[in-house]
Amino acid sequence: MSGPNTGDSITERAVEAYSQIEDPRLREIVTALIRHLHALVKEVRLEEQEWEFAWDFLARMARFTGPERNEFLLLGDVIGISQLIEVIDHERPDSAVGFALVGPFYRANAPVLGRGASIVSPDTAGERVRVTGRVYDLTTEAPIAGATLSVWQAATNGLYENQDESQPDYNLRGQFQTDDAGAYDLVALMPTPYPVPTDGPVGNLLRVAHRYPYRPAHIHFIVSKSGYETLVTQVFVDGDPTVNTDVVFTASGNMVGEFQHDGDHYSLNYDFQLRPGVSTMPKAPIP
């Protein structure tokens, strides 16, 4: 069967319709997107009612997306795309800290705090952990002075401060700088596992798939310095049984830290390695 309205001919016509995009990388991405989406439709012989469900699902995600939450990014996380991009874009030896997805709750302009300061408000429930370590060059192992560590995490109720009106503004968020020896020192909240938001379309998808919606206990870090590739990562708790079932496929052995009980608090010593390159910051999902 041939003609302008056969499956293959429609695909080729669609590809040709976008062949005049001037930017070569954008043209490559759009062409691949068209071909792969058309291939999906042909492979499963998508029905009209199923297509209607698909665009309605996207419309419902849009209704759950705003300044405080990005349902589209959450979908990318729970189907593994966000972490896949990190793994492909940032190949590192197993001995180095791994890259992780930025997640939907990174917020811009966290307060800059002094050495040893706490990101935890005094009235926040939970045990504290003193986190120390150093930032150094992955190639030369030389210390990196003046590196910035952006830190954020959820409270023990599983909510980030932008989700929880009872928390102070920018609670459990902060920025720190390394000293001349590349060392840093801060106080955080001992992390606990928590579920991703399940009250929207992504939650419906997880329930249909019978997936466990929890993330392992972790603290987010972005480590940056001019002249170095920015490291986006998360530090998980050694021994947390949910590491192997992370709903966003991120937790792995090269992002696990030994949180040790130390008197009336916990302590963690954790080093970060940066590779020379271009320093770029990810777009913050929350302004």
Question: Do the domain assignments include residue 239?
Answer: yes
pTM: 0.87
pLDDT in tens, the chain (287 residues): 556 677 899 999 999 999 999 999 999 999 999 999 999 999 999 999 999 999 999 999 999 998 888 999 999 999 999 999 998 998 888 778 999 999 889 999 999 999 999 999 999 999 999 999 999 999 999 999 999 999 999 999 999 999 999 999 999 999 999 999 999 999 999 999 999 999 999 999 999 999 999 999 999 999 999 999 999 999 999 998 889 899 999 998 899 999 999 888 999 999 999 999 999 999 998 87
Range of the domain at 75: 71-274
How much is the pLDDT for 11? Answer: 96
Q: What is the dihedral of CA 138, 142, 143, 148, to 10 degrees?
A: -40
Q: Are residues 41 and 178 in the same domain?
A: no
Q: Are residues 261 and 128 in the same domain?
A: yes
Alpha-carbon 192 to chain mean position: 17
How much is the pLDDT for 96? Answer: 83
Question: Do the domain assignments include residue 1?
Answer: no
Alpha-carbon 211 to chain mean position: 19
Question: Do the domain assignments include residue 154?
Answer: yes
d(CA 33, CA 25): 12
Place of tokens 């910051």: 281
For 158, left (φ over 0), alpha (ψ -120 to 50), or beta? left
Q: Are residues 117 and 19 in the same domain?
A: no
Give, in order, the Cα–Cα distances in Å from 51 to each of 58, 74, 128, 194.
11, 21, 49, 33
Q: How many domains does the chain have?
A: 2
